[in-house]
């Protein structure tokens, strides 16, 4: 992107990311000469250096909001969408997100429908969501005020009209996180008014049941066909569980908690099922990411391996790909996965496939994120890509060696590098089984 002479750029642009937590672009100011790259990409920062940098895409969307909308008074239809922060826990920021757009805005906060959209489209959609936030205690939210409006939003099945008054003009911000889907500018909330809502009776039923455990409510809603994103939104506002134990949950945590709870429920069902027949390989490619799912006839176990290539968002300075991995055996894992929320979203997608097959297997999932992956889009991206992969017809192989040979032909990183990071795969190749001696 080049910056034209005299163009006024946003001065309060924040990026949150690994190793670069709060990076302020004070260089976004009036320029006297055109520029080939944005100030973020100049040495020594060098975030990406691409003409289609996600920061400039966000800038364009936010600049449009600034020109066309009085952001202290936002009127539009909420998707519905709410967000609960995690900094300062248990005293956190929470609030609604409303775009200055009227009509059906459900696609603004429905990740299950985003896979066909480009990264730029998703960034533009999310950048237009204005976040009106207020400080609250997660264990004792102030009932009767803004919190009640959040409850109504979380229970809604339509995109209700919303009028949001803010204390000040919103701060422009970009949140770079592999767990949370980014959103637009934020400001303290003064008042929120909602129009006509249509309550989702499936959510309302579990909300009214104050004796039902939260984990049971999540599983029931899943089988009632409530989208995972809708369950996560309602769970973050603290709508489920025994009454005395209810509390708000930061959105980042609620996403992982729901993925984990639902996948564990499915895995418990799988463990009494017979093994799959033959080795199965599934594949999906999108956003310059490659996903390979390898299912092996065996008892349930799972491993997630993701590789970030040089010049991708989480690997900006190293000259070689970086591989992150974690796994679990037949027994339930008791620690949080080192690879973060993507581990649980992938496990859910794989468990869904095996449950539909009424079979169990050892699952190994490979991901390669190349430099064309502009910006972390959230764990929904991983979950929906793996879901898309396993919806396809698999390639079948009689032996693990031939299945792995095919997998490596579809991946860039050689097998030896994967084996250095893997635990399950290494054991499957080199550990002898007692069945071999029978």
Using one digit for the tens of pLDDT, what is the confidence trace for 308-343? 998 777 777 788 999 999 999 999 888 999 999 999
177 in helix, strand or coil? coil
389: containing domain: 279-437
Whether residue 184 sits in one domain with residue 215: no
Whether residue 208 sits in one domain with residue 169: no
Looking at every residue in the chain, the average pLDDT score rounds to 84
Per-residue confidence (pLDDT) for residue 426, from 0 to 100: 83
Is the residue at 406 inside a domain? Answer: yes
Q: How many domains does the chain have?
A: 3
Sign of the torsion formed by the C-alpha atoms of 71, 72, 77 and 81: positive
The low-confidence residues of the chain, meaning pLDDT below 70, are: 1-71, 142-144, 172-181, 431-438
Is the residue at 6 inside a domain? Answer: no
Domain boundary among 172, 194, 216: 194
Whether residue 365 sits in one domain with residue 251: no
Contact criterion met (CB below 8 Å) for 73 and 163: yes
Whether residue 25 sits in one domain with residue 166: yes
Is the residue at 4 inside a domain? Answer: no
Whether residue 171 sits in one domain with residue 23: yes
Domain boundary among 160, 194, 228: 194
Helices (H), 228-271: 228-236, 251-270
Whether residue 243 sits in one domain with residue 122: no
- Gyration radius (Cα) of the chain, Å: 23
Whether residue 246 sits in one domain with residue 141: no
Domain boundary among 148, 170, 194: 194
Q: What is the DSSP string of 301-331?
A: EEEEEEEE-TTBTTBSS-SS-EEEEEEE-SS
Per-residue confidence (pLDDT) for residue 36, from 0 to 100: 46
Whether residue 226 sits in one domain with residue 113: no
Is the residue at 5 inside a domain? Answer: no
Instruction: Say how many Å lie between the first and final Cα of the chain, rounded.
Output: 66
Whether residue 340 sits in one domain with residue 251: no
Is the residue at 9 inside a domain? Answer: no
Kind and range of the H or E element at 119? Answer: helix 119-127
Whether residue 352 sits in one domain with residue 283: yes
Whether residue 392 sits in one domain with residue 314: yes
Cα separations (Å) of 164 from 16, 87, 240? 26, 23, 26
Is the residue at 8 inside a domain? Answer: no
Is the residue at 172 inside a domain? Answer: yes
Whether residue 124 sits in one domain with residue 187: yes
Per-residue confidence (pLDDT) for residue 31, from 0 to 100: 33
Is the residue at 262 inside a domain? Answer: yes
């Amino acid at each position: 992107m080049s910056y034209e002479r005299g163009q006024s750029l946003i001065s309060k642009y924040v990026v949150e990311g690994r190793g670069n937590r709060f990076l302020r672009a004070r260089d976004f100011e009036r320029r006297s000469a055109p520029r080939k790259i944005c100030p973020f990409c100049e040495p020594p920062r060098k975030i990406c250096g691409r003409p289609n940098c996600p920061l400039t895409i966000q800038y364009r969307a936010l600049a449009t909001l600034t020109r066309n909308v009085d952001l202290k008074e936002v009127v539009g239809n909420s998707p519905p969408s709410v967000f609960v922060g995690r900094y300062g826990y248990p005293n956190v920021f929470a609030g609604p997100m409303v775009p200055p757009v009227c009509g059906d805005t459900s696609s603004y906060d429905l990740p299950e429908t985003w896979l066909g959209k480009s990264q730029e489209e998703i960034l533009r959609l999310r950048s237009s969501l204005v976040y009106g936030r207020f400080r609250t205690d997660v264990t004792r939210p102030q009932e009767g005020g803004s919190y009640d409006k959040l409850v109504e939003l979380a229970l809604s099945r339509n995109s209700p009209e919303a009028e949001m008054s803010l204390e000040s003009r919103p701060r422009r911000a970009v949140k770079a996180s592999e767990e949370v889907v980014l959103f637009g500018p934020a400001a303290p909330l003064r008042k929120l008014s909602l129009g006509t809502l249509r309550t989702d009776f499936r959510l309302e039923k579990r909300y009214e049941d104050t004796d039902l455990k939260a984990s049971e409510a999540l599983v029931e809603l899943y089988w009632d066909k409530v989208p995972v994103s809708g369950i996560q939104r309602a769970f973050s506002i603290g709508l489920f569980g025994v009454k005395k134990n209810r509390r708000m949950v930061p959105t980042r945590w609620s996403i992982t908690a729901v993925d984990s709870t639902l996948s564990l429920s499915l895995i418990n069902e799988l463990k009494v099922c017979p093994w799959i027949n033959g080795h199965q390989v599934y594949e999906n490619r999108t956003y310059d990411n490659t996903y390979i799912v390898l299912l092996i006839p065996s008892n349930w176990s799972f491993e997630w391996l993701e590789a970030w290539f040089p010049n991708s968002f989480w690997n900006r300075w190293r000259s070689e790909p970086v591989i992150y991995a974690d796994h679990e055996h037949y027994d339930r894992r008791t620690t949080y996965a080192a690879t973060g929320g993507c581990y649980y979203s992938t496990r859910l997608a794989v468990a869904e496939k095996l449950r539909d097959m009424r079979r169990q297997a050892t699952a190994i999932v490979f991901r390669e994120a190349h430099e064309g992956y502009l910006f972390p889009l959230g764990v929904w991206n991983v979950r929906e890509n793996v879901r898309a992969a396993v919806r396809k017809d698999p390639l079948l192989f009689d032996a693990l060696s031939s299945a792995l040979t095919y997998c490596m032909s579809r991946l860039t990183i050689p097998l030896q590098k994967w084996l250095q990071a893997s635990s399950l795969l290494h054991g499957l190749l080199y550990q002898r089984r007692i069945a071999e001696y029978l």
